[in-house]
Structure 1
Amino acid sequence: MPDYVALARAAGCEAAVLEWLAANEEIAAGLPDLRAADWPRRRRAARELADVLATRFTLPGPAGCVVTEHRVPVRSGEVTVLRYHPPGDDRPRPAHLSVHGGGFIGGDVHEVINDRLLRRRAVDSGFDIFDIDYRLAPEHPFPAGLEDCVDVLGWLAASAAELGIDAGRLGVGGASAGGNLAALAAVHLRDAGGPPLDHQVLEVPAASLYLDRDGSFREHGVLADFGDFAEIRAAYLGADPAPGPAAPAEVRDLAGLPPALVLTAECDPLRDCGEAYAARLAAAGVPVETWRAPRQVHGSAGITATSPIAREWQDRVSGFLRARRTAATVH
């Protein structure tokens, strides 16, 4: 097994990142199911690892944020959506759908890190933030998770009056695999004629499913410990891949998409594909803000308890949302 800490130190990563990686290695050593062939066992082990790390490295979210659970109808049946509602009675609120990461095969809305980060973002931005528990591969290969995201965005728009949110100030965002799904959901809604989105936030997005073509993957791929990415890609696409783009990089026309914030990490194998997608958005006339977090790796944006750079990352997301709220109000 690679010495992740030594490799990250050689890459110039922040001291807080080195501490987080060391803890990750130590905890993962006691979780053999992280490489289990059985996907539910693998997910349970990954959830345990993520929750232990978040409890130690992620600042708790504000207690004043109210969290409620919804069962939302989608074309496949129902999915769980958590709502993070900040204090205050101002209605209607702008709304943002958050799509968690996990390599398309893992992650869920109840992870400690999601709760802590989304509570903070809701309070700092003044948005109602909704977190979707979309279907996962390989049991539900592409485009199942994407369909869930598109359907929940449609539900938010259609139920805006009942929910007390503003359908004209609705956006989407996600990290890693969630960034892939968020970007594609924006494309699908554009092509379907709505509901129109106000913004998209793409954090270390998996903008491509063929990362081995990127210099950042060759340089930093070992730091992410994705496992066998070819296995993950095969699990996500399934034995008989559905037609249509499975990654933002495969979308030919990006014109008319909502304003975007694209955040990448310096030592992340996904860096190049995310930045290439941001450049294509800008070339298509989409307003884009970008930031490459220095000395960070994939996933370290959540270590807000120990890293000032991770805290800046979260502040940039909340600040972008606040700016969208103000712009929409003025408009």
Structure 2
Amino acid sequence: MTPAPENESPAVDEAYAADEPHPEAQAVLDALEAMGAPSIADLSPEDAREQMGDLLAVDSSIEVASVDDRRIDGSRGDIPIRIYDPADEPNDGDPEPRPPICYFHGGGWVLGDLESADPTCRKLATETGSPVVSVDYRLAPEHPFPAALEDCSAALEWVAENAGDFGGDPERLVLAGDSAGGNLAAGTTLLTRYRDGPSVAYQVLVYPVTGDATETAAYEENGEGYVLTTEESEWFRDHYFEREIDAANVFAAPRLTNDGLLSELPPATILTAGFDPLRDDGAAYADRLEAAGVPVSYRNYPGMIHGFFGMLERPADLSVAHEAHADVAADLRDALE
């Protein structure tokens, strides 16, 4: 078992890898190796998107009562969104509105869309009983930082203004995302507080990018053989940031934010995976938030790999992924009900 770093940071002390990947995660790794697909880092963004689309092409078996595709106004054009509602009727006969979850997909700011996030959003909706709004923000390199952040901020404002139309409570807004989407959720939470925009009640950050992961032990330990490689991480960053200085912007690297602003942020659930180069990055942000007085539920899944949270459908149907969604739902109930 990889030992936790020796320091006084509680979350980082819990961020470790098991002796080996969980058998279900190992089966995914074996299947990916057998496919022999080229590394994303060797592809153009267009080819990488095609490869990801082929890999994730699946009709979800997770049923929700309704799925509604819409387009909302953004600062640079329309933003596609998809609203998932698990209730048969608005509020399912209950006059109490539910916390709406605004979800930002992963994909290194270069890949991903409403389809890639579909199983995750369906699962979140069914586990929490809340409406989930998936956001198809603009992608790099065609639209580098801060385009995606601007779209996510616009989506948050739209949800705050329109939540009541689909059974959501605008006073209990939740921002959530995985990987690059976790980065955008954290950044949007900071940005709306900085601008005195819509109030966010909770944030769910799944193996988020929060700073310079290259300075962490996990980045070196898990840089090869566990879905996301260090070479691919650098490929994503190079496409997202046109200027090196942008990578140090606090809305792109929330871990660099001063304690004063961090202390004003809402409670958070932060999930990491043991065999993920981003493991210690997420844990370090959990420690920054806790040190600033923000309540944090930090959950590390030692046998898991990057991307596991969305592995909910055959052929990659991980039991721990379902457990992680149940954990997130429990945290939201404890914090918001």
Under a length normalisation based on structure 2, what TM-score does the superposition of the two structures give? 0.85
Corresponding residue number in structure 2 for 1:189: 192
Helix, strand or coil: the match of 1:94? coil
C-alpha distance in structure 2 between counterparts of 1:232 and 1:184, whole Å? 17
Select the residue among 283, 296, 300 that pairs with 1:275. Answer: 283
Select the residue among 210, 214, 228 that pairs with 1:212. Answer: 214
Helix, strand or coil: the match of 2:223? helix
Select the residue among 321, 324, 327 that pairs with 1:310. Answer: 321
C-alpha distance in structure 2 between counterparts of 1:142 and 1:314, whole Å? 29
Is residue 221–residue 269 contact of structure 1 (8 Å, CA) maintained in 2?
A: yes
Change (3 A) 1:293 1:10: closer
Helix, strand or coil: the match of 1:72? strand
1:160 aligns with 2:163: yes
- Which residue identity does 1:315 align to in structure 2? A
Corresponding residue number in structure 1 for 2:143: 140
1:202-234 CA-partner distances (Å, limit 9, x unpaired): 0111112x3221101111111233344333212
**Structure 1 stretches of 5 or more lacking a match?**
1-8, 327-331
Change (3 A) 1:115 1:159: same
Change (3 A) 1:23 1:204: same
Deviation at 1:307, TM superposition (A): 3.1
Helix, strand or coil: the match of 1:257? coil
1:297 aligns with 2:305: yes
1:61-110 CA-partner distances (Å, limit 9, x unpaired): 12x43110110101111110100011243253320101100011101111
Corresponding residue number in structure 2 for 1:4: none
Corresponding residue number in structure 2 for 1:3: none
Is residue 273–residue 304 contact of structure 2 (8 Å, CA) maintained in 1?
A: yes
Q: Which moved more, 1:272-281 or 1:299-308?
A: 299-308
Is residue 98–residue 173 contact of structure 1 (8 Å, CA) maintained in 2?
A: yes
Residue correspondences, number: 307
Q: Which moved more, 1:197-206 or 1:250-259?
A: 250-259
1:4-43 CA-partner distances (Å, limit 9, x unpaired): xxxxx9951111111111112233x2x5594554322221
Corresponding residue number in structure 1 for 2:76: 76
1:324 aligns with 2:329: no
C-alpha distance in structure 2 between counterparts of 1:203 and 1:240, whole Å? 25
Helix, strand or coil: the match of 1:235? helix
Helix, strand or coil: the match of 1:110? coil
Is residue 98–residue 169 contact of structure 2 (8 Å, CA) maintained in 1?
A: yes
Corresponding residue number in structure 2 for 1:5: none
Change (3 A) 1:33 1:83: same
Corresponding residue number in structure 1 for 2:296: 288
Select the residue among 84, 99, 102 that pairs with 1:97. Answer: 102
Q: Which moved more, 1:235-244 or 1:78-87?
A: 235-244
C-alpha distance in structure 2 between counterparts of 1:323 and 1:309, whole Å? 21
Is residue 183–residue 202 contact of structure 1 (8 Å, CA) maintained in 2?
A: yes
C-alpha distance in structure 1 between counterparts of 2:278 and 2:328, whole Å? 19
C-alpha distance in structure 1 between counterparts of 2:175 and 2:320, whole Å? 23
1:161-187 CA-partner distances (Å, limit 9, x unpaired): 444421101110111111001001000
C-alpha distance in structure 2 between counterparts of 1:50 and 1:250, whole Å? 34
Corresponding residue number in structure 1 for 2:3: none
Change (3 A) 1:303 1:158: closer
Is residue 34–residue 43 contact of structure 1 (8 Å, CA) maintained in 2?
A: no
Helix, strand or coil: the match of 1:238? coil
Change (3 A) 1:261 1:236: same
Corresponding residue number in structure 1 for 2:234: 230
- Which residue identity does 1:285 align to in structure 2? G
Corresponding residue number in structure 1 for 2:25: 17
C-alpha distance in structure 2 between counterparts of 1:169 and 1:264, whole Å? 24
Is residue 65–residue 119 contact of structure 1 (8 Å, CA) maintained in 2?
A: no
C-alpha distance in structure 1 between counterparts of 2:187 and 2:298, whole Å? 18
CA RMSD across the alignment:
2.2
Deviation at 1:240, TM superposition (A): 7.2
**Structure 2 stretches of 5 or more lacking a match?**
1-16
Identity score, percent: 35
C-alpha distance in structure 1 between counterparts of 2:297 and 2:41, whole Å? 37
Deviation at 1:324, TM superposition (A): 3.4
C-alpha distance in structure 2 between counterparts of 1:151 and 1:266, whole Å? 33
- Which residue identity does 1:320 align to in structure 2? D
- Which residue identity does 1:130 align to in structure 2? V
